[in-house]
Structure 1
Amino acid sequence: MRFVLAIVAFVVAAVMIVAGIAQRTVFAPPTQLTASVTVPDDARYVVIAGSALNAHSGQQTLSVSGAPDVKSQVVAIGRTEDVTAWLGTEKYVAVGYDSAADKLTTRTVTPKASTGSTDATDTPTPTPTPTATAPAGGATEKTVAGPNPTGSDLWLEEYDGANAQVTRMSIPDGVSVLVASDGTKPAPSKILVTWPVDSSTPWAFPLIIGGLVLLVIGIALYLWGLYTHRKSRGPRRKSGPKMPKLPKAPKYKPSADVEVTSRGRRSTRRSRMIAPAVLVGALTLSGVGTGAAFADETPTPTPTPTSTPTSTSTAVPKPVNQLPPAVTVPQLERIIKRISVSAANADAKADPNLAKERFTGAALQLREANYAIRAKKADQAALPAIPSDPIVLSLPQSTDSWPRTVVAVIDMPKDAEGKDQAPQAITLVQDTPRDNYMVEYAVSLEPKAKVPNLAPASIGAAAVRPDSKLLALPPNQVAAAYGDVLMNGDDSKYASLFDSDGDTLRTAVGLPYKNERKSSLASTASLTFTNQVPANDTVAMATNDSGAIVWTDLLEFETIKVTEAGAEITLQPAGGATAALLGAPGSKTGVESTYSYQLAFYVPPAGSDAKITLLGFAQGLVAVKEVQ
């Protein structure tokens, strides 16, 4: 028997070991799934839909090849609506996925400029590339270059050059991938998407280990059986003398009153066995009959079925028409780093043309003036740099249209003397999908500024209309009202709306400062102050308490005129910023100096007892001219 068990153990062990090894070798599942497609050679833009990339689960690996210039190829990831908006009227090849055929598909899409819809055809046959009209004289037609996606702030992620050849990503359905070159050369023509497959074999290791254990058991059984078999074949001892027989017992004789139907011991033994069997059968029959009668008289009630309680779940209502934030936090960090590099380059060279790459509006005007002053006054300090990090607050606008606004507050490093600097709040505006974000306002926060509760960056805040009546003051009237306070102080009709506590700008250039300037002026000259709200758009973003943060700017004009013939105005300090912009130390008629104030306010909702608070500002001389 031990040999049989050993053989069975050997056979089962062999089957288990072979099965375990086969799972890791012959029957091993594939480690990945792939799908590829070839697009027309002259296609300049290829859009891979998120649904195609999510045809199989797992992280996607996108491989592109076939570009005429590897250095110019780019793989950009963005929201599907953003990618479509960036392409505009540009023709592109859309890559989808056919689940029935289990392969990638292509179709050429030619957007219509008039309606914004697309005219898609399922055939991959390319449409002729748009060409410029040939000039007179029979010159050769020249292909019109398309937009270059490289470096756009619109993308969530971007891979350029050799880094774009193999890209690992996890793309949700609402996101698409744009594959292109520089807008002039064709895009990579070969697209390969790879998905990982779970190739684990959880039973392989247990089968191999179990087979080895059974093999050891089989060997042990075999050795044990061999040992027992050899031991049983040894010499046997002869048996000793036979034991004496026991005396026979007297035969049993039944009495005369016992009736016996048969004779002999066999009949007696048979009668003893029959009696208990008959008794058990009788008891069994009687029990069955009794139970049947009990069942007829008192029927057992059938249990009434009860409904099984089920757990009910209330679905969390999703926001209706919830718009996405203009940028994500990683996207904003990348944008700020680009702006920081561009601003540092422009500031180092004092080049206004370089500043125009990333600055606009009041922020650009202040930097251009600073560059002009530094060109004539070497010791003039540069404006605060735009740091690249850390971003301590980000507030993107929740929108799917343009223009888009994003606000970021960045901690400033210590100055040259080791003193702390106020954080800088910058307002970024993107006018169109193909434009980069531009710095429209760059202000330093007030020391006592308390930023109200804002929406998280993952949701974004809604833009407030400039003429909204739901605030204590419409956003487009805040700058004019604050300018009146700077001119008239507490006598201004708007003074009660603004909080003067912690307003350092009001202390520096308010009514007391202006009165002091007038009193220190010679009697041969007059000094007047006026202000004006420029035509730049006011930016307002909603806060969680139904208020708004408002960014606006204000221009203040300081005009000094000569009141007596023969008198002359000498600008102080000599060789200062005013003289540098004017290009002269003084004037015989008069000088008008223009100061720009970039302002950030918190405006409470209408009916609130809170006051409008100045959160931060930036101010500086932007223009000087001689007046008659």
Structure 2
Amino acid sequence: MRFVLAIVAFVVAAVMIVAGIAQRTVFAPPSHIEAATTVSGDPRYVVIDGSVLNAHPGQQTLTVTGAPQGAKQLVAYGRTADVKAWLGDQKYVAVRYQKATGDLATKAVTPKPARSTGTGTSGSTATPTPAATPTPTPSATAGAASSGKTAATTAGPNPAGSDLWLEEFDGTAAQVTRMNIPDDVSVIVASDGQKPAPSNVSVTWPVDSSTPWAFPLIIGGLVLLVIGIALYLWGLYTHRRSRGPRRKSGPKMPKLPKAPKYKPTAMIETTPRGRRSTRRARVILPVALAGALALTGCTAGTNAASTPSKTATPLATEAPDAAGQLPPAVTVPQLERIVKRISESAAQADAKASADLAKERFVGPALELREANYAIRAHKSDEPALPAIPASPIVLSLPQATDTWPRTVAAVIQSPKDAKGNEQAPIALTLVQKTPRDNYQVEYAVSLEPKAKVPNLAPASIGAAVVPPDSKLLELPPEKVAAAYGDILMNGDKSQYASQFNPEGDTLRTQVGADWKAKQKAAVPATASLTFTSQPGSGADVAMATNDSGAIVWTDLQESQILKVVEAGADASAGATAAALSGVASSKTGIQSDFGYQLAFYVPPAGSKEKITLLGFAQGMVAAKQIP
């Protein structure tokens, strides 16, 4: 029997070991799934929808090859709506996934011309007209025709460096990219808009190739093998012992006589009989029955305790429906990249004092102030430069919740310490993207007040709504805040708006307010007169809602300082700064100097007991001229 068990153990062990090894070798599942296609027709752009990349679970690996110039190939991804808005009227090839075959297929797409509705939607957004490329030579045309491909005769926009992308890869880094994107995000593959996009596209998904039973089968087989060897050795040992010499038994011993059986008499019988014996039997029977019932009771109690009882079904908490919620204009990582690019561009423009470089990333009041500063520094070497735009860290981000253009994003960036180790005020930026193909530009760049308290804002993952300039739901409509604050700078506490603005922590009011203006007028000689006027600047009024139904308002105020000669033969000195902008050191008629104020306010909701508070500002001379 031991030999039979040993043989059975050997057979089962061999089967288990072979099965375990086969799972890791012969029957091992594939480690990935791959789908590929070749794009024909030399398109400028190839778009892969998020549903294609999510055809199989797991992290996607996108491989693109076949670009005319590998150094210029680009792979970027963004929201599907943003990608299509950026493409606009550009033709592209869409990549689809075929479930039946598991391969990729392509389809040429020609977008329909967008009708301008004036609503500011992405469909009606104006996009730059693609620049024309040189007409291809006959030889190039013949080569393209012979290869069966139709080359485009016009170049499209270059997608490289667009602020619209959530992530971007170029050059050799674009050949193999790993990503894990949702269905509402698409990938755009291109070169530089002039050369065709890479023609070979493949997507790879990982497959769970683990074999959880391989190791237990191998270990179990080895254990059975050892058991089989032990059984076999035991069988051999027992068999050898059983084959030893045996001696024959001699004659049997005679049997001993049997002793007579003892029969007790009735006089010495010890076993109780009669009623006592019946009583003992009756006692023994209930005890046995009680024990049986006790055991039965334990079994019944166990079954009752293990029977599940009905409990109240918990109410399902449904997540808020996000179908009608607009997405934020940018994500936090996307904003970090944008701010870093702006910081690098601003540093180059400041170092070269180049207004042309500044125009790449600045617009409106922020550009006006920087252009004036460059012009002043060109003639006045001791003029300080404007505060640099730090690249990081972003301590506050407030994107607009929208899927149309223009888009607005606010960010507060912590400034590094100066050369002496002193703390510097954080910089608050207001960024505006006019069209899908435009990058974000700085419209306002202000330094926050030391005691500024920013109210509660919506998280960056949700975004905030933009408040209309004429909204009456605030203490003051955003379009009237600049004029009201300008009146306070002119008249101080006598202004009709003084009760609506908080004077605490307002350092601009102490620098250029009514008291300062009065001192400037008193210092002017009798041969001249000094007057001040203020009016809203040309910058757009930007307001973004806060959680308490108020708004953060960015506005532009322009103030003119007019020094006029009132006595014949007298001269009016322009001053070094005004002379650098106007080119006139003194005048017999007068000098007008214009100052720009970029202002950021917190405006509480209408009916609130709070006051309008200045959060930050940037100011400087933006123009100067001689009075005729």
Given the two structures, how large is their TM-score scaled by the length of structure 2? Answer: 0.85
- Structure 1 pair 308–495 and aligned structure 2 pair: CA distance change class (3 A): closer
| Partner in structure 2 of residue 600 of structure 1 | 600
Whole-angstrom CA distance in 1 between matches of 2:40 and 2:408: 38
Partner amino acid, structure 1, of 2:194 = T
**8 A contact 1:132–1:142 mirrored in 2:** no
SS in 2 for 1:238: coil
What is the aligned counterpart of 1:157 among 163, 167, 178? Answer: 167
SS in 1 for 2:245: coil
The C-alpha deviation readout for 1:270-327, integer Å capped at 9, x for no partner, is: xxxxxxxxxxxxxxxxxxxxxxxxxxxxxxxxxxxx9986444232331451000000
Whole-angstrom CA distance in 2 between matches of 1:200 and 1:143: 51
What is the aligned counterpart of 1:496 among 496, 499, 503? Answer: 499
Whole-angstrom CA distance in 2 between matches of 1:133 and 1:44: 16
| Partner in structure 2 of residue 433 of structure 1 | 436
The C-alpha deviation readout for 1:27-55, integer Å capped at 9, x for no partner, is: 00000000011111411111100001000
| Partner in structure 2 of residue 377 of structure 1 | 380
Offset of residue 381 of structure 1: 1.2
Q: Does residue 1:456 correspond to 2:466, yes or no?
A: no
The C-alpha deviation readout for 1:318-373, integer Å capped at 9, x for no partner, is: 14510000000000000111011100000000010000010000100111011111
| Partner in structure 1 of residue 6 of structure 2 | 6
Whole-angstrom CA distance in 2 between matches of 1:114 and 1:201: 54
Larger Rg: 1
| Partner in structure 1 of residue 106 of structure 2 | 106
Segments ≥4 residues shifted beyond 3 Å: 114-117, 129-135, 245-250, 306-312
**8 A contact 1:134–1:142 mirrored in 2:** no
SS in 1 for 2:36: strand
The C-alpha deviation readout for 1:536-576, integer Å capped at 9, x for no partner, is: 2111100000000000110100000111001111244xxx3
What is the aligned counterpart of 2:219 among 202, 209, 213? Answer: 209
**8 A contact 2:43–2:152 mirrored in 1:** no
Counting only pairs closer than 5 Å after superposition, residues 179-578 of structure 1 correspond to structure 2 as 179-245=189-255, 310-319=313-322, 321-572=324-575, 576-578=576-578
Q: Does residue 1:64 correspond to 2:67, yes or no?
A: no
| Partner in structure 2 of residue 616 of structure 1 | 616
Offset of residue 9 of structure 1: 0.8
Partner amino acid, structure 2, of 1:562 = V
The C-alpha deviation readout for 1:492-528, integer Å capped at 9, x for no partner, is: 1111110001000011101000000001110000000
Partner amino acid, structure 1, of 2:226 = V
The C-alpha deviation readout for 1:405-436, integer Å capped at 9, x for no partner, is: 11110111111221110111011000000000
Partner amino acid, structure 2, of 1:585 = A
**8 A contact 1:10–1:215 mirrored in 2:** yes
Q: Does residue 1:172 correspond to 2:182, yes or no?
A: yes
**8 A contact 1:130–1:143 mirrored in 2:** no
Whole-angstrom CA distance in 2 between matches of 1:130 and 1:216: 80
SS in 1 for 2:110: strand
Offset of residue 204 of structure 1: 0.4
Partner amino acid, structure 2, of 1:393 = L
Offset of residue 115 of structure 1: 4.3
SS in 2 for 1:111: coil
| Partner in structure 2 of residue 17 of structure 1 | 17
- Structure 1 pair 131–492 and aligned structure 2 pair: CA distance change class (3 A): closer
Counting only pairs closer than 5 Å after superposition, residues 27-106 of structure 1 correspond to structure 2 as 27-106=27-106
Partner amino acid, structure 1, of 2:451 = K
Whole-angstrom CA distance in 2 between matches of 1:143 and 1:316: 51
How many pairs does the alignment contain?
556
| Partner in structure 2 of residue 259 of structure 1 | none
| Partner in structure 2 of residue 282 of structure 1 | none
Partner amino acid, structure 2, of 1:211 = G
Partner amino acid, structure 2, of 1:581 = L
Whole-angstrom CA distance in 1 between matches of 2:604 and 2:58: 47
Partner amino acid, structure 2, of 1:229 = H
**8 A contact 1:547–1:604 mirrored in 2:** yes
Whole-angstrom CA distance in 1 between matches of 2:316 and 2:572: 81
**8 A contact 2:431–2:444 mirrored in 1:** yes
Whole-angstrom CA distance in 2 between matches of 1:82 and 1:470: 32
Partner amino acid, structure 2, of 1:615 = L
Give the percent of matched residue pairs that are identical in Structure 1 and Structure 2. Answer: 71
Runs of 5+ consecutive residues of structure 2 not aligned to the other structure: 118-129, 142-150, 261-308
Offset of residue 106 of structure 1: 1.5
Whole-angstrom CA distance in 2 between matches of 1:116 and 1:195: 42
Partner amino acid, structure 2, of 1:429 = V
SS in 2 for 1:162: helix
Partner amino acid, structure 2, of 1:73 = Q
Offset of residue 103 of structure 1: 2.1
**8 A contact 1:131–1:142 mirrored in 2:** no
Partner amino acid, structure 1, of 2:187 = V
Offset of residue 114 of structure 1: 3.9
- Structure 1 pair 189–214 and aligned structure 2 pair: CA distance change class (3 A): same
Given the two structures, how large is their TM-score scaled by the length of structure 1? Answer: 0.85
Offset of residue 585 of structure 1: 2.5
**8 A contact 2:396–2:411 mirrored in 1:** yes
Whole-angstrom CA distance in 2 between matches of 1:603 and 1:311: 44
Whole-angstrom CA distance in 2 between matches of 1:505 and 1:435: 34
